[in-house]
Chains A and B, each alone.
Chain A
Amino acid sequence: MALIRTENVCKSFNDVNVLTDINITVSQGEVVCIIGPSGAGKSTFLRSLIQLEKITSGKIYIDEELLLYRKNNETIFRMEPVKYKSLLLEMGMVFQSFNLFPHKTAVENIMLAPVNVKKIPKLSAEKQARELLGRVGLQEKADQFPARLSGGQQQRVAIARALAMEPKIMLFDEPTSALDPELVGEVLNVMRGLAESGMTMLVVTHEMGFAREAADRVLFMSDGSVTEEGDPETIFTAPENQRTKQFLNSILDV
């Protein structure tokens, strides 16, 4: 079953095409990594899926339901508001810059949305939050403010915060790009665990090692479109597209 499907998604900022005809499908339980050079539109695509950016045209299906259909910058169809919101909440998102709420402790960060959006009683939300912190290995940091946590710990809290809304799909927007090299591993481990538990994941990343070993499928994006797609082994060892070859060469050389 396809949890995410897009048809001809295009996006332009003042006549500059950022995304051109993106057609992808992410099935239940699948881990898909999007790789590609900076400025290829990877993040914009992820942000368009969760409606942080408005697409210019195209169709977005979430959980086999048409969420949004736009054409020439005009909305042709949009799911009715209640369902729209619930479909969007099927996606959880982790940002490059964590975006934790600095005035709330780790556990409060995680409880906040369940309590205020899902109206779950505080006590059970806190219990769930502490369990999630255990899952990302930060039980003992529950009552710390984000400023007291390292980058890797903050990102793990951010993952737990997204998981607290029990999404079906997790979107990761370069989750390790803002981290010191020695902190990348702890975040990738949490993501690997998540992938093994069967979570559907769409990951924009520059961590080729992670993409190669954890992904079921890799999409290569350049200049706003998906230019190559396949299982990680094929993409990394025998890429067909010239752009992919170039990119992998330049990255793996370093």
Chain B
Amino acid sequence: MRPVYKRIINVAAVVMLLAACVLLVFHKPAREQLESRISSELITEAGKNFSGVYYDFGIFNITRGRNVKTAVTETFIGGAGGIISVNEGFGHYLADVVLWLPALAGGAQVTVSLTICAVLAGLFLSVFLALGKISKNPVISGLCGAYIFFFRGSPLLMQLFFIYYGLPVINPALTINNKFFAAFVAFTLNTGAYCAEIIRAAIQSIDKGQFEASRVLGLTYGQTMRIIIIPQSIRRLLPPVANEFIMILKDASLVSIIALADLTHVTRSISSSASNVMVYIPAMIIYLIITAFFSAIFTNLEKRFSIYQ
């Protein structure tokens, strides 16, 4: 009985929330109405220096007039049938945060997509590097070892800088014009080296008996790796890969050096253009939310891969 009862309450709560949202959407002031509240003194005084912004956040909207020269601003929030003026104090800061959000969200999108793409591609690359490093062929194992040594041993910032600015100097054919793609290449090559060590350790932590049993049954080396060893090592490599993912998420802030607009870059430019360092607070909170979200995903994956234990 109890779960059903709980479910009804949940459904009712969601329905009420949706209804409240719909009501709010229809009861926010029109854009013209909101913008007309900005005083004509500000507009005339600012003249060419006037800048106005308007954002519609669905259930409420917000507008701000600003004299860029004197930094005098007037901010109005509209919603639930009324308009309030927030020109100072915490309300003003909240309005600031809300106005920064679209730009911050754009930056976060770059950060997250760069991290996901680089870690996925890096993992793919690292499987081959790890197998190469434990290979009995000294040439293959030496090459893979050297690769890992280089990419783990030198700063990611320099690697990124060199791939974007240095490669075209060596040979113009190596020019990467798309900043996102250049960052993707650098991060993939770098995280590939780290993940290779994670995978190598996970593979080597699998009991030798598993290799022996596979061999005695006639499985080839490739089959043993694909069917027996790698599936078992996935559970063991998930925690360190989650760690690496979060490191990359934060290291993604290095892309500022090639002026790619990630979350950190956007935050810094807002901070300097609005001369308000408080933008770092919502930016860091966004980082925390992203990290928490992906940690939860990795925890979930780990559970799913440990069903057999």
Binding site for B on A (CB under 8 A): 50, 52, 85, 88-89, 91-93, 95, 97-104, 112-113, 116-117, 145-147, 161-162, 165
Contact present for A116 and B232 (CB under 8 Å): no
Chain A interface, DSSP helix/strand/loop, else mixed? loop
Contact pattern, B 180-221, Cβ under 8 Å of A = 1, otherwise 0: 000000000000000000000000000101101101111100
Contact present for A103 and B231 (CB under 8 Å): yes
Q: In the complex, what residues of B have CB within 8 A of residue A145's CB? A: 307-309
Tell me the complex Cα distance, A102–B210, Å. Answer: 9
* Least Cβ–Cβ distance between A91 and chain B, in angstroms: 8
Q: How many A-B residue pairs have CB under 8 A?
A: 57
Binding site for A on B (CB under 8 A): 207, 209-210, 212-213, 215-219, 223, 227-228, 231-232, 307-309
Q: In the complex, what residues of A have CB within 8 A of residue B223's CB? A: 116-117
Contact present for A101 and B219 (CB under 8 Å): no
Residue of A nearest to B226 (CB): A116
Most buried by A among B218, B219, B307: B218
Q: In the complex, what residues of B have CB within 8 A of residue A89's CB? A: 218
**B217: contacting residue among A98, A102, A112, A147, CB under 8 A:** A112
Contact present for A147 and B212 (CB under 8 Å): no
Q: In the complex, what residues of B have CB within 8 A of residue A50's CB? A: 216
Tell me the complex Cα distance, A56–B209, Å. Answer: 23
Contact present for B216 and A52 (CB under 8 Å): yes
Q: In the complex, what residues of A have CB within 8 A of residue B218's CB? A: 85, 88-89, 113, 117, 165
Tell me the complex Cα distance, A93–B213, Å. Answer: 8
Tell me the complex Cα distance, A95–B208, Å. Answer: 12
Tell me the complex Cα distance, A112–B220, Å. Answer: 12
Contact present for A103 and B232 (CB under 8 Å): yes
Tell me the complex Cα distance, A50–B222, Å. Answer: 20
Q: In the complex, what residues of A have CB within 8 A of residue B213's CB? A: 95, 99-101
Residue of A nearest to B232 (CB): A103
Tell me the complex Cα distance, A85–B228, Å. Answer: 20
Q: Which 3 A-B pairs have the closest CB atoms?
A: A99-B213, A99-B209, A113-B217
From known contacts A116-B223, A116-B227, infer whether A101 and B210 are also in contact, taking CB-CB under 8 Å: yes
Contact present for A97 and B209 (CB under 8 Å): yes
Q: In the complex, what residues of B have CB within 8 A of residue A104's CB? A: 308
Contact present for A116 and B219 (CB under 8 Å): yes
Known: A52-B212, A89-B218, A103-B232. 14 other contacts (CB 8 A): A50-B216, A85-B218, A92-B216, A97-B207, A99-B207, A102-B309, A113-B217, A113-B219, A116-B223, A117-B217, A117-B218, A145-B308, A162-B216, A165-B217
Tell me the complex Cα distance, A103–B309, Å. Answer: 8
**A52: contacting residue among B215, B227, B231, CB under 8 A:** B215
From known contacts A92-B216, A99-B207, A117-B219, infer whether A112 and B309 are also in contact, taking CB-CB under 8 Å: no
Tell me the complex Cα distance, A146–B228, Å. Answer: 14
Tell me the complex Cα distance, A92–B308, Å. Answer: 26
